[in-house]
Amino acid sequence: MNKIKAILLSIILILSFEVNSISQNAPGSFADLAEKLMPSVVNISTTTTVTTRSNQFPFQFPPGSPFEDMFKEFGEPKERKSAALGSGFIIDEEGIVVTNNHVIADAEDIIVRVDGDKEYKAKVIGADPLSDIAVLQLDTKEKFTPVKFGNSDKARIGDWVIAIGNPFGLGGTVTSGIISARNRSIGLSRYEDYIQTDASINSGNSGGPLFDMNGDVIGINTAILGRNGSIGIGFSIPSNSAKLVINQLIKFGETKRGWLGVRIQDVTKEIADVEKLDEPRGALVASVASNSPSEKAGVKAGDIILEFNGERIQEMKQLPIIVARTEVGKKVNVKIWRNKKEISKTITLGRLETSEDFKVADKNSQPKEFVIEDLKINVKEITNEDIKLRKLPNQTSGLVVTKIKKDSPLLNNIEINSIILEAQKKKIRTTNDLKQVVKKVLNSNQKTILLVIYNSQNQRRYIGIKLD
């Protein structure tokens, strides 16, 4: 009995030690850290002139009507001042402040409040809408207490963080939480790699810092999920991504991002199967811009970019971020999967900010309409009018989808007005072209068809579909 008691006591002591060890990792208070950081966090208020046209009447009077002049004033444009609030933080003792671009966009006057009651006018050094980052300079010769950036790559899910900002105009508000997730994409910008946190973030927190327990900035608070305030899901731009943009804005007043000149999409399981790729990975090249760095290097639509400048591309969204942070003019090695084998290309990066859009051209064609029974869709050959209205690239040929039946295998994969350009890497010019390819796929063991389309937004996409 004594031995059993001794064993039980040992287990209790071990468990107690483990619980105490875990609890020591949780801060007893954030007070000292908050007190240290508060002087470096600022409140930002902006003023913008907004032009409105008030018209209380849902009708118009005919020219010459006696009522025309009487009610004319109601439709005249009027100007009013609009105010907005946000947050920011000081990164240099000379008064350089970082915030979100959307906080100061179109602002005529920017007032920054430091340490609660000191107000300064500020001017924009540089702003970048693509990353939603802006850098301000305070109009003063005073010295300030800056904060420094931490390494966001070392931040782990579950780490404690605190946010300080100006929610709803309540300056100096401190909230705490943990890192809930990493590498989040929510469709707000082109370059998304957000840190998700449950530290309370609300309207007015935008542009404010997300601190780790060392007091280093690991994120810029940018967005929340939920229209009516915080629901415990907020998003911050990682500091390692932000620093690159901030340094360029300070140095040049603008960004200088690398540019490949390709439109890309995810590699699905179906596409990986067709291409004999070991797993769904990389970035599939949907189209290549004319006279772009990629075109000059021989990159083709249908290529799958597996590695860029020594960095493996597991997901499509990684590539734009990596390319953007790469020096303009640099020669980089790109590994590509083409025709079921890996090849390498050397690409000299261009600059995104000076790149050109796809060129538009004309085409003559006669409309036809047919039913593709095996796909359960209706299509018509593309016309000159289609090309003009949708501003499609030169030499576009294909079939416009006019109807998709409820039992079609393409349902939920394409939409009405999509244009089928290729099937199994063969250009589609007529309905007979498509019918032949479909029949061949159905007679094969794989029964997976790879389509290249323009969706209704004129984005070139690859679609892998299993045919029963």
Reported as a single tens digit per residue, the pLDDT across 324-337 is 999 999 999 999 99
- Residues 39-59 have a mean pLDDT of 72
The β-bridge relationship of strands 399-404 and 311-312 is unpaired
pLDDT recorded at residue 383: 80
Q: Which residues pair with 403 in a beta bridge?
A: 378
Residues 333, 271, single domain; the answer is yes
pLDDT-based confidence at residue 455 (cuts at 50, 70, 90): confident
pLDDT-based confidence at residue 68 (cuts at 50, 70, 90): low
Residues 283, 326, single domain; the answer is yes
Give the side-chain half-sphere CA count within 13 A for 205.
25
pLDDT-based confidence at residue 19 (cuts at 50, 70, 90): very low
User: Does residue 133 surpass a pLDDT of 70?
Assistant: yes
CATH number at residue 159: 2.40.10.10
Token reading at 419:
């244009």
Distances from the Cα of 120 to the Cαs of 95, 206, 220, in angstroms?
A: 10, 19, 22
Q: What is the mean pLDDT of the chain?
A: 84
Q: How far apart are CA 2 and CA 42, in angstroms?
A: 64
Residues 276, 246, single domain; the answer is no
Q: Which residues are catalytic?
A: 102, 132, 206
User: Does residue 83 surpass a pLDDT of 70?
Assistant: yes
pLDDT recorded at residue 51: 54
User: Does residue 447 surpass a pLDDT of 60?
Assistant: yes
CATH number at residue 433: 2.30.42.10
- Residues 279-291 have a mean pLDDT of 92
In a domain, 25, yes or no: no
pLDDT recorded at residue 425: 86
Please state which of the ranges 58-67, 75-84, 105-114, 288-297 shows the lowest mean pLDDT.
58-67
pLDDT recorded at residue 192: 81
User: Does residue 397 surpass a pLDDT of 50?
Assistant: yes
pLDDT recorded at residue 275: 92
Q: How far apart are CA 117 and CA 125, in angstroms?
A: 24
The pTM of the full predicted model, rounded to 2 decimals, is 0.67
Q: Which residues pair with 224 in a beta bridge?
A: 234
Residues 111, 159, single domain; the answer is no
Q: What is the 3-state secondary structure (H, E, C) of the chain?
A: CHHHHHHHHHHHHHHHHHHHHHHHHCCCCCHHHHHHHHHHEEEEEEEEEEEEECCCCCCCCCCCCHHHHHCHHHHCEEEEEEEEEEEEEEEECCCEEEECHHHHCCCCEEEEEECCCEEEEEEEEEEECCCCEEEEEECCCCCCCCCCECCHHHCCCCCEEEEEECHHHCCCEEEEEEEEEEEECCCCCCCCCEEEECCCCCCCCCCCEEECCCCCEEEEEEEECCCCCCCCCEEEEEHHHHHHHHHHHHHHCCCCCEECCEEEEECCHHHHHHCCCCCCCCEEEEEECCCCHHHHHCCCCCCEEEEECCEECCCCCHHHHHHHCCCCCCEEEEEEEECCEEEEEEEECEEHHHCCCCCECCCCCCCCEEEECCCCEEEEECCHHHHHHHCCECCCCCEEEEEECCCCCCECCECCCCEEEEECCEECCCHHHHHHHHHHHHCCCCCEEEEEEECCCCCEEEEEEECC
Show which of 320, 354, 388 is a domain's final residue: 354
User: Does residue 304 surpass a pLDDT of 50?
Assistant: yes
Of residues 328, 382, 319, the one with CA closest to residue 185? 319
Q: Which residues contact 87 (CB under 8 A, 6 or more apart)?
A: 41, 42, 43, 44, 99, 103, 164, 165, 166, 204, 205, 206, 207, 208, 209, 221
pLDDT recorded at residue 361: 32
pLDDT recorded at residue 248: 94
Q: How many CB atoms lie within 10 A of CB 346?
A: 10
Residues 165, 108, single domain; the answer is no
User: Does residue 418 surpass a pLDDT of 60?
Assistant: yes
Residues 320, 408, single domain; the answer is no
Share of residues in the chain with pLDDT > 70 (%): 83
- Which has more confidence, 192 or 318? 318
Show which of 138, 163, 192 is a domain's final residue: 138
Residues 42, 81, single domain; the answer is yes
In a domain, 10, yes or no: no
User: Does residue 320 surpass a pLDDT of 80?
Assistant: yes
Instruction: List pLDDT tens digits, range 6-18.
Output: 554 454 444 444 4
Total domains, the chain: 4
**Are the beta carbons of 207 and 217 closer than 8 angstroms?**
no
In a domain, 90, yes or no: yes
- Residues 352-371 have a mean pLDDT of 56
Q: Which domain holds residue 345?
A: 259-354
User: Does residue 303 surpass a pLDDT of 70?
Assistant: yes
**Are the beta carbons of 111 and 129 closer than 8 angstroms?**
no
Q: Which residues pair with 466 in a beta bridge?
A: 448
Show which of 223, 252, 281 is a domain's final residue: 252
Residues 449, 374, single domain; the answer is yes
pLDDT recorded at residue 71: 54
Residues 389, 446, single domain; the answer is yes
Residues 156, 248, single domain; the answer is yes
Distances from the Cα of 67 to the Cαs of 53, 57, 58, 76, 257, in angstroms?
A: 19, 12, 14, 15, 56
Please state which of the ranges 123-127, 212-216, 305-309, 368-372 shows the lowest mean pLDDT.
368-372
In a domain, 145, yes or no: no
Instruction: List pLDDT tens digits, range 179-226.
Output: 999 988 887 777 788 999 999 999 899 999 999 999 999 999 998 887
Share of residues in the chain with pLDDT > 90 (%): 54
Instruction: List pLDDT tens digits, range 232-256.
Output: 899 999 999 999 999 999 999 999 9
Among all chains, which residue has been given the structure tokens 């990066």?
349
Q: How far apart are CA 161 and CA 157, in angstroms?
A: 11
pLDDT recorded at residue 75: 54
